[in-house]
Amino acid sequence: MLTAPPLAAAARRAATAAACGAAHRLLLPVCFLSSNPSAPSTLVPRRRFGHMSQECMAPRAPLPPVGRNFAVAVGDEILYGDAPELVVVSFYRFADFPDHAAFRLPLKELCEELRVSGGIILAPEGINGSICGTPVAVDKILNFIQEDGRLKGLRMIQSPVTPEDEAIHHGHTSHSPVGAGEDAPFRWDHVRVKLKKEIVTFGDPGVMPTKIVGKYVKPKDWNDLISDPDTVIIDVRNMYEIRIGKFKKAVDPRTNSFREFPTWVDDQFQLVQSGTLGSGGDDNGTGEPSADLNASKSKQLPRVAMYCTGGIRCEKASSFLLGKGFKEVYHLEGGILKYLEEIPKAESLWEGECFVFDKRVSVGHGLAQGTHKLCYGCKQPVSDEDMLSPHWEYGVSCPHCFATKSEEEKERARARQRQFETFGVIGGPHMGKSPRGSAANNAVEFIQLPKSV
């Protein structure tokens, strides 16, 4: 239940006018937070769902009641309540969807109306996305998508987001590598709905998961399949993902992008099993000679078990292998995320953490927040050890990309980072978005309050 302390509109306007200059210098919407209305002013950056606020400052407000850590500004009142529960949902569906472009605007408008953030791809072959919002809002989005009969039966993975996690994501706690209001340059402060040729880039128009696809294996049956010595396990993700975690004995194709997978299958499909995390070198990390599948045409094609983050890449990869003549092609239903969600750590054959394409960066068993951060120079995961390297520079480079970047590229990245640290947005203050219309003063906005003031 929300409670509203008395608050004079005149005091609000006076506080706004008095600090407007400071707010414009900060180029961030801010609010006063203090347990004593006569105490010195404390400026705390505030966000209006990723948009710059026309009203640059809110008034002082008393501390919330015990157990309440969020405030809601509605016009001239501040209402206190519990932090809104958030969830992250990843979803996809392959479908014959030639009129996908017409779906973009209504979907984007609904996401914005419901304050759902994230990224969604629409293509002639279907839909692929990952969004964050309240459970009610996310359910409305997913139901709206599935009102189109072609998109019914979305494959989904849902993860909860705790208020503390959300605070870390948005730089509101001491655990965050950025200051309050300074989110990562590649942040999710609104929804992006993009039109593309493919929902996951493979580069082979002949591969159609809607026509032929491998056999799904549920997480509870996965261990038995990959423990069979006659099964070749293939991780179809990229090198930087595999570097931080994989299943035991999985083959690493050592691809930089999913587009390279067909070439790897045609030219370098290795039957040797990888025995180490983050394998490297020509021997696939095992210390044993590599065996080329194509070296012996008389050999029967092996049983293949493949996996990826959420299952979407395996749909295309398994379809591709079946088109190449493989008879037994299996893939993990729901991907690594579903496995980590359902299989207890004590029974798991997973080693390390799973890279995810959102602010969490990585997750572990039970989909718990992982330990990795993101290098914004190359968008690869970095460990605590990586950040001790002399090649680590926040927003610029890490040990995995330092040698690949020229000094000119690094200087551009430094300039970009300086812009973000100064203005809170890449490109300077003119890049900030203003709220639509004149309803800004009546808009509802959540303001996260510190646990102690």
Cβ(322)–Cβ(214) below 8 Å: yes
Q: Which residues belong to the active site?
A: 308
In sequence order, which residues have a C-beta less than 8 Å from that of residue 231 and are 6 or more positions away? 225, 302, 303, 304, 305
Q: Which helix (H) or strand (E) holds 123?
A: strand 117-123
Cβ(395)–Cβ(376) below 8 Å: yes
- Whose structure tokens read 């937070």? 33
The two three-digit tokens of residue 294, written as one number = 């194509």
Which residues make beta-bridge pairs with 24?
Answer: none
Cα dihedral 169, 171, 177, 182 sign:
positive
Cβ(11)–Cβ(59) below 8 Å: yes
Tell me the C-alpha distance between 199 and 128, whole Å: 6
Cβ(180)–Cβ(44) below 8 Å: yes
**Listed residue (246, 243, 223) closest to 234, CA to CA:** 246
Tell me the C-alpha distance between 319 and 66, whole Å: 55
DSSP H helices, 71-160, are: 101-113, 135-146
The two three-digit tokens of residue 251, written as one number = 């083959």
Tell me the C-alpha distance between 226 and 219, whole Å: 11
